[in-house]
Chains A and B, each alone.
Chain A
Amino acid sequence: MTQEAPPQEQQKKKIFRTAMLASVVVVGMFGFAFALVPLYNLICDVTGINSLFTQEKRIRIDADDSQIDKSRLVKLEFDATINGDLDWEFQPTQRSATVHPGQMMQTTYLLKNNTDQVISTQSIPGVTPWQATEFIKKVECFCFETQTLQPGEAKEMGLTYVIDPDLPEQYSTVTLSYTIMNLDRSSIVNGGQNDAAKVAELNK
């Protein structure tokens, strides 16, 4: 700059620059919140913290019995939960199974729609303790697909799984839990509205 601007003008410029810089940070941090979503999923995937993202990996196992670890048995417990107040029935046909790691096993879950509506649902798995998540391999699972049931329809759904022989020794009992969720989300948010009568009842 050849000509020195008057101090008032200079200060105005400096104020503008600082305010702009701060605004850029604000916009950036707003974006950062959204960037956290893929970042979080990535971290969960890499570290295997969250079962949601590892279940997608279907595995293929050859009919080869050489990997079966006959030296130990793991107890696998099956659990079923219905999310929210969906009027369905959902339960495992078998409460638990004692299996050798490496052995391919099959079980089924029962699902029944008691409502008078066609409803699509999705099952979300969870493993306890979560450290065992990546060792429960699913060859075929109803949780890979959306389940749509007609009013009153019942269905037996298959699950084929293998427990990885690499499962650390300290886990002798593992629980595999499925939560069934209504995919019709208008019922989730508007559920509040439908409950207005219930609220009025409570607030009386």
Chain B
Amino acid sequence: MDNNKPYIKVENLKKYFSTKRGLLHAVDDVSFEIKRGETLGLVGESGCGKSTLGRCLIRLLDSTSGKVLLQNPEGEGYTDVTKVSAREMKELRKRVQIVFQDPYSCLNPRLSVWELIAEPLIVNSIYDDKAAMRKRIRELMDTVGLAERLENSYPHELDGGRRQRIGIARSLALNPEFIVLDEPVSALDVCIQAQVLNLLNSLQKEFNYTYVFISHNLSVVRHVSDRIAVMYLGQIVELSEYKELFANPLHPYTQALLSAIPVAKLDVQRERIILEGDVPSPIEPPDACRFAGRCRYAQEVCHHGTPPLTEFAPGHFVACHFAGKLD
């Protein structure tokens, strides 16, 4: 397989929801690429469209326009996920999976752990042979670190960390290539969070999974990602290799976001940029830089036309007229 070709190419993806007050631009013209085996972190605050984008990528939501090109299994050409028929999508779902945020609500409370993990295997009729399926479920439980004795437990009997492991086992059941992780550790305490992050990391090493990791927690995203995309009101405002993004944030929103992270250390000198006001409404936004209204550097030009995402330095994309010229 040609490793230099991107595994996923997203081109001008848009997702609008119609509401009583007009079109809500949840994802507004987003383009990026992901390589095989890479983790792309997707950060932003509530309502910025990161979860909607994640769902459009694996077509849990139909996008309004744009393409999501997924490399074919032999590395030959691409399939546009947004265009395939329902029957083709069912096949494709074996390759693309999602882990949801809330391990308390995404599991059917009336199914046992064993049944929950068996479900994707049964739905896709993977095994004719019961014994083979049993073996596979054991294997999956092993992989994610669920003890065998929990087979017959129900979700309510388990803690958040174990429940999230069930969610992960379900998404791994069909040997996917690409997994969207939608805030997989947000509902967990730090100690459990660390355990789940380590698990995801070791799974990726073992099976060469490609991840999109959605989170609002920047320290977690930094820990897991190879590259990070920062979203604001439906658009990617900055995209870069993770170290570069933290060392040299170019977009004023990224700068404010990074400065707002509470750090568990004393004597770190950080200038805290406090943003005024709240995120504006994503309904019928004006054709302007979405951040202009809260930006302390905003000039006249920022209120006319959306600044495009441009490559400022190799691999470092930013959507700001004044990138690199901010003081």
- Does B bind A? no
Seen from chain A, the residues whose Cβ lies within 8 Å of a Cβ on chain B are: none
